[in-house]
Amino acid sequence: MNLKVTPNNLAKLEKIFEESKYQIRYEKGTFMSGYCVLEHKKVVVVNKFLTLEGRINTLLDILPNIR
């Protein structure tokens, strides 16, 4: 899925996660993939140093796996 890299599209993706009862947190960490999903707590932790494009692509990668 290709989305234009805009802050508005990032907000739309974040809204989808929110509607699925997942909390997105942008924090620093040693993530090999740029993110970590804590399914039992419904928390997605994304590397805060990612660019806007990186954040959008990361959320798009995670999206099919959320319940």
Question: pLDDT tens-digit profile of 9-54?
Answer: 999 999 999 999 999 999 998 878 889 999 899 999 999 999 999 9
Query: CA dist 36 to 4, 8, 19, 24, Å?
Result: 24, 23, 19, 10
pTM for this structure? 0.89
Would you say the C-alpha torsion 38, 43, 48, 52 has a positive or negative sign?
A: positive
- The alpha carbon of 32 is separated from its chain's Cα centroid by a whole number of angstroms, namely 15
Spans of all domains in the chain: 7-65
Query: CA dist 66 to 23, 49, 53, 57, Å?
Result: 11, 23, 20, 15
